[in-house]
Chains A and B, each alone.
Chain A
Amino acid sequence: MTSENAKPLGSKILSWQFLVLLAIFSISAFFIAKRFMLGLGAVTNMNDGYPFGIWIAIDVVIGTAFACGGYTMALLVYVANRGQYHPLVRPALMASVFGYTLAGVSVFIDIGRYWQMYNMFLPKYANPNSVMLEVGLCIATYTLVLWIEFSPVFLEKFGAKKAEKVLHKVLFFFIALGVLLPTMHQSSLGTLMVIAGYKLSPLWQTELLPLLFLLSAISMGYGVVICEGTIASTEFNTPKETRILSKIAKVMDISLVIFLVIRFGDLLRRGALPQAFNGDLVSNMFLLENGLLISAVILLFSSRLRATAYGQYAGALLLLAGAALFRYNTYIIGFNPGTGHSYFPAVGEIMITLGIISLELMAYLIFIKTLPVLPSRRKVKMATG
């Protein structure tokens, strides 16, 4: 990864946005302390029927998909050999670094016996049949790989030319690893719910979950790149990338169409589709999920709309909302243990998720202002952000 004229924005860090995020994080810190002192039941509504809550469903399962920008851009630039997208790689990679690192933090808060978390890495305890082990090890390794892929940014900043040269020689291996690992664990995040069997509604339960999760991660990765590019260019006055983003929008649309064809083909094959019209919460969430995804496909289908910043942005947002809902439904809404338990996240639980997201955004703001991440072809004016 070369610098591509990437420059730090240089504007002041303690903007009002930053202070708001800091305030949210401070509140969440209180709940995090409470969780470690009194146990999970003191801050969450998770229970023996719903042992996975929003920390897993949102922070990890949706969060890492939002962090697939680095993965999908690497697919495009290095595997499909489309070098023209190179300026988008570094900001995408940064969002991935934070997304994955903070998913790791969420897992640490979520798991009950966190002080034994390292057992995951001890061969004597490893269970090769466990999808959870594959997901855990793969995400941990990928987080490390992401930091290595992103490290040229620091080396550039601090002028460590020698280290930069050495890293450059071996970086191709880490980039390749950085494509393999998300292919593995993003699909495994789908496999994870296959063992739930009848507890997951037939609207989501299928042996094709690994393929669907992989495809949705790829679409979401492109969606995030488009959103991030659009916001950065309006908020921070970096060069407009509308033309290049319109091509990404096309790739995103194609990947989403493939996802939907497989999704509905599978629903028809299993005869599960009539359940979408039961009129209850579960079926309505299914309709909402697919309504969002189908509107994204239709909107992005128009090359005229795809050429505009608004069209791309709206299409990406619809896709991200729909695909995130697909993941949330698979883990929470479509899940029913049949024991009479119910689940809606508690205030403390929501606050911790918001706190983690705030932490992510604060880190993002600090990094783009102090490190060479965003592309810049002209002198950047002071932005409010």
Chain B
Amino acid sequence: MAITRRNLLKASACGGALLACGNSAQAARRMELAPSALGILYDSTLCIGCQACMVGCKQANNMGPDPADNNQTWDNPSDLSSRTLTVIQKYEQGNGRQHNQEEDGFAFIKLQCMHCADPACVSACPVSAMTKDKKTGIVSYNKKACIGCRYCQIACPYNIPQFEWDKPLPQIVKCELCHHLIAKGSISACCTACPTGASLFGPVDLLRQEAHRRLLYRAGQYYDFPLHDIRAARTVSQPAAKYKAHLFGEKELGGSQVMMLSAVDFQKLGMPELPDESYASMTENIQHTLYKGMFLPIALLGGLVYFVKKNAENHHNDE
């Protein structure tokens, strides 16, 4: 009797081990973007580092100056914070003279929420405070739901969500693509402010087509680059730079609605090297394997109840 029970135990222990392992046999999921998904194409080669986008962003979102960088004269934040939703950073190498050149050159990069196709923050948040809009695909934040656990910050591969560390009643702050302006028929404030077309607003499919067009441009030749909104007629004629053949945000972690082009390697600009499969889907594979319909936990509980009841009675009788 004792032996069979032990064998049973071993079997259930193996089950438990399986339960803990999960499996990655499930195919990587592919999150398709809605046809009406909105986004931004940031073309680093067109960016002159004027930071008008940052000013426009702060005005549109009622953000005060950043105390971390406050030199009393002007607001010039160097990184994202709870008061800075987007920031322009500079890459510089060697003598730093040539724009859009990796060696002896410089280039800019714009940090902001990428509005991922499969956002880690949305998957991670325990209370659904992060949501992805079904139509626009915009990832927004609901402070009524948020408990302030900051797991979205751990999860975000781009370190976008920021927390109000200096407030007794804090919240998470992130770029929401100016959805309050889009609702009124306008576009993201950073794209309205950008004078060169480096930040270009529009439907993601149009932006992707535009990006692929640019990747075929011949360096040095003049082309018409749309300004502000890809659907509007305004363009500005500029020479094309020598693009890296990489549309950042097309494949990274299943893609994102904010995409970037550059003449300098993205890792040199500070962007991480990312796989095509999102970390959120890897995690959810584990979770869903273990907890689908709560079958495994309930089965395990059934087995445990049986053994505990039996053994507790045995011990009781021994006494």
Contacts and interface: CB of A to CB of B under 8 A. Distances in A.
Nearest to B318: A83
Interface in B119-155: 120, 122-129, 143-151, 153-155
B312 to A, nearest CB: 5
Interface in A50-101: 51-52, 74, 77-81, 83, 86
Contacts of B159: 48-49, 337-339
Interface in B7-30: 9, 16-17, 19-22, 24
A374 B125 CA distance: 42
B157 A199 contact: yes
A113 B24 contact: no
A127 B128 contact: yes
Interface in A122-172: 122, 125-127, 129-134, 136, 171-172
Interface in A191-205: 191-199
A78 B307 contact: yes
Contacts, number: 217
B79 interface: yes
B145 A125 contact: yes
A31 to B, nearest CB: 14
A348 B38 CA distance: 44
Contacts of A49: 159
B316 A2 contact: yes
Contact of A132 (B145, B149, B284, B297): B149
Nearest to A116: B147
A78 B314 CA distance: 10
A32 interface: no
Given A134-B287, A210-B286, A111 B272 contact: no
A291 interface: no
B100 to A, nearest CB: 24
Interface in B261-305: 270, 272-274, 279-280, 282-284, 286-287, 290-291, 297, 300-301, 304-305
Contacts of A339: 79, 159
A48 B81 contact: yes
Chain B contact patch, size range: 35 or more
A208 B290 CA distance: 13
A191 B283 contact: yes
A298 interface: no
Nearest to B296: A184
Contact of A173 (B129, B168, B305): B305
- Majority-rule SS of A interface residues: helix
Interface string B153-168: 1110101011111111
Contact of B300 (A42, A125, A183): A183
B153 A51 contact: yes
B273 A129 contact: no
Nearest to A52: B154
Given A51-B153, A132-B149, A176 B163 contact: no
Given A79-B9, A176-B304, A184-B297, A191 B167 contact: no
A131 B312 contact: no
Interface stretch (A33-41, A224-232, A310-318, A354-362): A33-41
A309 interface: no
Contact of B308 (A2, A44, A114, A172): A172
Query: Which of A86, A111, A115, A134 has the most B CB atoms < 10 Å from its CB?
Result: A111
A179 interface: yes
Nearest to A174: B308
B162 A48 contact: yes
B311 interface: yes
Interface residues of A, number: 73
A46 B165 contact: yes
Contacts of B213: none
A114 B126 contact: no
A48 B157 contact: no
Contact of A113 (B128, B161, B170): B170
Contacts of A130: 123-126, 151
Contacts of A208: 21
Given A48-B80, A196-B279, A207-B282, A125 B21 contact: no
A180 B124 contact: no
Nearest to B131: A127
A198 B166 contact: no
A127 B308 contact: no
B21 A210 contact: yes
A51 B163 contact: yes
Given A113-B147, A125-B128, A176-B304, A77 B311 contact: yes
Contacts of A40: 163, 165, 170
Contacts of A133: 126-127
Interface in B206-264: none
Query: Which of A42, A44, A175 has the most B CB atoms < 10 Å from its CB?
Result: A175
A214 B20 CA distance: 7
B22 A207 contact: yes
B169 interface: yes
Contacts of B319: 2
B104 to A, nearest CB: 24
A195 B162 CA distance: 18
A177 interface: yes
B279 A136 contact: no
A195 B311 contact: no
A384 interface: no
B189 to A, nearest CB: 22
A38 B81 CA distance: 18
B73 to A, nearest CB: 24
B184 interface: no
Given A119-B145, A133-B127, A195-B279, 5 more contacts: A48-B80, A80-B9, A131-B124, A180-B300, A198-B272
**List of 7 A-B pairs having minimum Cβ-Cβ separation, nearest first:** A112-B148, A41-B165, A113-B148, A133-B126, A51-B150, A197-B279, A176-B304
13 contacts: A51-B150, A51-B153, A78-B308, A78-B311, A113-B169, A116-B148, A122-B127, A126-B127, A172-B305, A195-B283, A207-B286, A210-B20, A338-B272
